[in-house]
Structure 1
Amino acid sequence: MSHYQRIACLCTEAVETLYLLGAQDLIAGISGFTVYPPEARQDKPKISGFSSGKLEKILAVEPDLVVAFSSLQSDILKDVAAAGVDIQHFNHHDLAGVLRMVRVLGSLTGKTDGAERLAAELQASMDAARAEAAANDAAGLPRPLVYFEEWNDPIITGIGWVGELIALAGGRDAFAERAIHKRAKERILADHREVAARRPDLIVGSWCGKRFRPETVIEREGWQDVPAVRNYEHGHIIEIKSADILAPGPTLITRGLPQLQALIRQWHADRAAGALA
């Protein structure tokens, strides 16, 4: 069965997945926002930004397929399709969608067996995390309340897959009711004191595109009695890089999930030691 030979990836998730499938030789160009794997940035031409791209630059690498993610890339895909190039547009917002993406890319590149293996490995990692959290539940250990901040001005709470990762790691999403909203503007908090009112045990920041600054978080008005802030010196406010938790590819599970698990394990250890303020 024939498959695509020159794939232009406008999203980092596709690049990462194709490398994991051993299909990197089929990649004709990548997004300038690609992070994983690092060698992709050296080996492949950069042909687009995240929400922007010039048709001429994309077509210059002579793709037979263009892969993109999110509604923000819809306009450029219309131009690509009008130019007669096949497109594959992903727009998933949950962990199940990551596994679907892996299998679709495997099918498009003749790597179906590898895709099934990768999907199984990712599922096994999620199952192991779920089992650990369930064991803690069975032992009567409480689940810490975790506040995830995707942006600071305005404050934006976590998207659906972040809430799923928090639950898998053994925590509770402080704004689970907002995580169901796919668009960031629907997850904006009108008042930062809403966070303080929920008193999260742990805070995770991942300000998409810029460095998280916990020292500014602990200085927010009314946050001084938040458990995570009181226990800041114990490492209960951390950054997870956006590439690890905001790009909905395998790294959510291979990098983002382990960091959340480590944070929650530390919280349990501090609680058991009586170290929480």
Structure 2
Amino acid sequence: MRVVSHTCSNTEIVCALGCADRLIAIDADSDFPPDVARRLPQLGRDLEFDVDAVARLRPDLVLTSLTVPGHERIVEALRTTGQRCLVIDPQSLDEVYASIRSIAAALGVGARGDALVDEMECAMPHHEAGPDAPRILVEWWPKPVIGAARRSWVQDLIERAGGRNALGHVEARSATVGPADLDRVAPDAIVMSWCGVKVAKYRADVVLDREAWGDTPAVRNARVFPVSEEFLGRPGPRLVEGYRALRQIVSRA
């Protein structure tokens, strides 16, 4: 089977299933595993994916997603050219597991999908949140502040790690946080997981120097932590690393 992967998480799932040899091209943001990413043609970033190049490759399957706003346009363009697409759009951790199983089934390795899900589940035990469990804000973007809300796998990861999502009251995938929201959000810790930015470029001072945020517990106590978007923003096997980082933050906060 000849597979094109559009989005990092899909690429990582295929490789974790032991099917890297079926990939014939990926998007330009897919960078893991590095040895796989280096050898494959890259057809553009997620919102600039070269649909015509995909058609010329004549894949048997295109793995795409709706996890980034604007992906709808790429998915529609792929379908217009007659590509067979599997569209992944998880919100909760259970839906991430379902996506892994769907991709495994499409590749004909269903048992490997079950095994990968079991492995992830065992690696992320649930820690009960106590009455003083810290409120964690996971930031997808710093200006304006956009964080992971209730309808996200981050909600589940924070809860499993023994914390509380500072935006868990917002019924959305993500939410913008302005000065008027701070009294209710009131994070005890802020996790920088800025999309599309390498973790080496995350700067805590961007968070600590925000006007109006000085009275929030996280800023007052300088509890600002970097966790690469690779581990929290990609709904695939490496969410386990994000969970482990969150568990450490909960323990320290």
TM-score, with structure 1 as normaliser: 0.82
- Say which one has the larger Rg: 1
Any stretches of 5+ residues in structure 1 without a counterpart?
A: 268-277
Q: Residue in 1 aligned with 2:98?
A: 100
- Whole-angstrom distance in 2 between the partners of 1:221 and 1:79: 43
The one of 246, 249, 253 aligned to 1:260: 246
Structure with the larger helix share: 1
Offset of residue 143 of structure 1: 0.6
- Whole-angstrom distance in 2 between the partners of 1:193 and 1:251: 34
Residues 77-86 or 98-107, more deviating: 77-86
- Whole-angstrom distance in 2 between the partners of 1:77 and 1:174: 32
Runs of 4+ that moved beyond 4 A: none
One-letter code aligned to 2:87: H
Cα deviations by residue, 1:239-262 (Å, 9 ceiling, x for unpaired): 11111111111212x211000001
TM-score, with structure 2 as normaliser: 0.90
One-letter code aligned to 2:11: V
Identity of aligned residues (%): 25
- Whether the aligned pair in 2 keeps the contact of 1:193 and 1:223 (CA below 8 Å) is no
- Whole-angstrom distance in 1 between the partners of 2:221 and 2:4: 46
One-letter code aligned to 2:176: I
Cα deviations by residue, 1:31-71 (Å, 9 ceiling, x for unpaired): 11113222222121111311222222112322111110116
- Whole-angstrom distance in 2 between the partners of 1:78 and 1:161: 25
Residues 256 and 202 of structure 1: CA distance in aligned 2, closer, same or farther (over 3 Å): same
The one of 221, 239, 255 aligned to 2:226: 239
1:42 matched to 2:38: yes
- Whether the aligned pair in 2 keeps the contact of 1:244 and 1:256 (CA below 8 Å) is yes
Residues 106-115 or 150-159, more deviating: 150-159
- Whole-angstrom distance in 2 between the partners of 1:197 and 1:78: 39
- Whole-angstrom distance in 2 between the partners of 1:196 and 1:207: 23
What is the root-mean-square deviation of aligned Cα atoms in Å? 1.9
Cα deviations by residue, 1:208-241 (Å, 9 ceiling, x for unpaired): 1233321121112232332222322xxx211111
- Whether the aligned pair in 1 keeps the contact of 2:142 and 2:206 (CA below 8 Å) is no
Q: Residue in 2 aligned with 1:181?
A: 172
Offset of residue 72 of structure 1: 2.5
Q: Secondary structure at the match of 1:224?
A: coil
1:12 matched to 2:17: no
Count of aligned pairs: 246
The one of 42, 58, 62 aligned to 2:54: 58
One-letter code aligned to 1:181: A
Q: Residue in 2 aligned with 1:274?
A: none
Any stretches of 5+ residues in structure 2 without a counterpart?
A: none
- Whether the aligned pair in 1 keeps the contact of 2:134 and 2:188 (CA below 8 Å) is yes
Q: Secondary structure at the match of 1:238?
A: strand
Residues 152-161 or 16-25, more deviating: 152-161
- Whole-angstrom distance in 1 between the partners of 2:166 and 2:147: 9
Offset of residue 204 of structure 1: 0.7
1:248 matched to 2:246: no
Q: Secondary structure at the match of 1:51?
A: helix
Residues 220-229 or 256-265, more deviating: 220-229
- Whether the aligned pair in 1 keeps the contact of 2:2 and 2:59 (CA below 8 Å) is yes
- Whole-angstrom distance in 1 between the partners of 2:147 and 2:228: 15
